[in-house]
Amino acid sequence: MAKKLKITSYVLACLLAIYVVLKYTGICTLYTIPSTGSEPNLKSGSYIFASNLITPKRGDFIVYEFDHPELGTANWIHRLSGMENDTLQIIEGTLFVNGKNVDENYNLKHSYLLDEKEFKSLHDENIEHFPITTKEGNTGYLTFVEDIYVNRHKLAKKRYRDLKIIPNPEIVATYRHPWNKDHFGPIIIPKGKIFVLGDNRDNSMDSRFFGLIDINDIKGVLWKKLFTIDTK
């Protein structure tokens, strides 16, 4: 029995040592997804492995260090959407990089204004939503729906977008241009910088609002999704 305990202790010690080396070298680090900003593809409460051995490319989910003026320094996770020398523009809520529609390649989330009947037709109480009162005085919902549901329930005409004539104050303060989240750019990404976006496009704090990220602040690229703990 003593011999088995000794062997077990050695094995656990080796595994711990390997974990520490992998984590602190960035070769393989465990991260959690704390928010819904990258849904539907990275769920809130998910655990992932990221690695700094993977060369980041456009479209990858990356982990990067960011010093938020209110939240402090932390690791953030978003999709790498623009790299140096890219021309990036958002037109009517659709992302174009170097003139190409890149959103059509992904299952994203956008916001929709739905009435009571339309909302109940989704049959999913876990869908993000906020009750609102319509101008007619009825109950409605600002609902964040992923593209696969939109096509299935024919909700495309209900999508909510910011009007081009109404700039977002936070975006204006960052970029000095009268843009908002749905009408942004064009902007050419300068050398040494990247542009990140959340897949939950209308409910994500990302480069549209807080600006470009230094490429040297990238800590790793998503290597493997593990599991999700339901936080809703």
Q: What is the pLDDT of residues 15-71, one digit of tens each?
A: 344 444 445 555 889 999 999 999 999 999 999 999 999 999 999 999 999 998 888
Q: Is 18 helix (H, G, I), strand (E, B) or coil?
A: helix
C-alpha separations of 58 from 55, 61, 107, 196 in Å: 10, 9, 16, 10
Tell me the C-alpha distance between 179 and 6, whole Å.
64
- How high is the mean pLDDT of the chain? 88
| Per-domain residue ranges of the chain | 2-86+189-228, 109-158
Query: What pLDDT shows up at residue 127?
Result: 87
Q: Is 59 helix (H, G, I), strand (E, B) or coil?
A: coil
Is the pLDDT assigned to residue 226 strictly greater than 90?
no
Q: Which homologous superfamily does the CATH classification assign to the domain defined by 2-86+189-228?
A: Umud Fragment, subunit A (2.10.109.10)
Q: What is the pLDDT of residues 158-181, one digit of tens each?
A: 999 999 999 999 999 999 999 999
Tell me the C-alpha distance between 29 and 176, whole Å.
37
